[in-house]
């Protein structure tokens, strides 16, 4: 554990001031979200959610831009968000590949009844999942695609129960995972794998991407367990994302 902690601290020290500032702002936004909900009421949920998603996406794009250059990063960001919107647009209308669900009007703005924060969320977490997949597979072919998809899907063990609880989307039929259909996770893995195969992201700045994955893991665990009243999804997500992170760090 000391070695992991030291590695994370070393990674932090190597980040640019712009990335450090954005990461601090993102963590503060996530920490303030439940506090503001308690003190200011439901009306702040939209703004704190948008702030958290936007700041994390900016941090990821900054990390990738400094590693890849801004031209390639911009193309990758547009590809991920475009494919993310397309799969959510298709899924919310046809039930493929996630199962039948629909977005409520609560999360704005929307395009084609898909909140624009959703494709941005694909952007904020898919590259960190790539970092985990790359550490395990060595960025090798199909193994990298599959492991990146699993690392990304592990995040949804937290996300879907939380977002349904906040009223951002609704499943037409409740499923076996705390009300979430199991097919949803298969859909996440297939969509993430397809995006990864299309983008073919390599080489990757593993340290900074692992840092974001680890912070997300901790924030989601604490948030669901303590603030959102969902201790069981918190435990499952802790084990799911934690297993992927440990697997990456043990390579």
- pLDDT given at position 1: 57
| Spatial distance between the Cα atoms of 107 and 91, rounded to a whole number of angstroms | 17
pLDDT in tens, 66-117: 999 999 999 999 999 999 999 999 999 999 999 999 999 999 999 999 999 9
CB-CB contact of 34 with 228 (8 Å): yes
Q: How confident is the model at residue 230 (pLDDT cuts 50, 70, 90)?
A: very high
- pLDDT given at position 4: 64
When pLDDT is averaged across residues 126-133 and rounded to a whole number, the result is 97
Q: Which domain holds residue 245?
A: 2-249
Flag whether pLDDT at 194 surpasses 80.
Answer: yes
**Higher pLDDT among residues 47 and 62, named by residue:** 62
When pLDDT is averaged across residues 213-235 and rounded to a whole number, the result is 94
When pLDDT is averaged across residues 191-200 and rounded to a whole number, the result is 96
Count of structural domains, the chain: 1
- pLDDT given at position 2: 61
Flag whether pLDDT at 135 surpasses 80.
Answer: yes
């Amino acid at each position: 554990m000391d070695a992991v902690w030291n590695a994370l601290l070393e990674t932090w020290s190597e980040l640019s001031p712009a990335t450090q500032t954005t990461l601090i702002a993102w963590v503060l936004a996530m920490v303030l979200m439940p506090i503001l909900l308690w003190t200011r009421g439901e009306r702040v949920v939209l703004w704190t959610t948008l702030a958290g998603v936007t700041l994390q996406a900016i941090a990821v794009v900054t990390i990738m831009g400094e590693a890849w250059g801004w031209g390639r990063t911009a193309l990758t960001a547009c590809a991920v968000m475009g494919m993310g919107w397309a799969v959510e647009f298709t899924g919310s209308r046809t039930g493929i590949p996630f199962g039948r669900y629909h977005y409520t009007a609560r999360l704005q703005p929307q395009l084609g009844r898909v909140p624009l924060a959703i494709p941005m969320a694909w952007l904020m977490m898919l590259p960190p999942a790539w970092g985990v997949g790359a550490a395990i597979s060595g960025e090798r072919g199909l193994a990298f695609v599959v492991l990146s998809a699993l690392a990304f899907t592990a995040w949804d063990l937290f996300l879907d129960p939380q977002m349904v609880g906040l009223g951002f989307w609704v499943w037409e039929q409740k499923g076996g995972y705390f009300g979430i259909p199991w097919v949803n996770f298969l859909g996440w893995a297939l969509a993430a794998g397809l995006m990864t195969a299309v983008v073919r992201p390599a080489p990757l700045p593993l340290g900074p991407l692992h840092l974001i994955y680890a912070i997300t893991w901790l924030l989601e665990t604490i948030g669901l367990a303590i603030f959102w009243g969902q201790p069981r999804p918190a435990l499952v997500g802790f084990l799911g994302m934690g297993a992927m992170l440990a697997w990456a760090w043990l390579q």
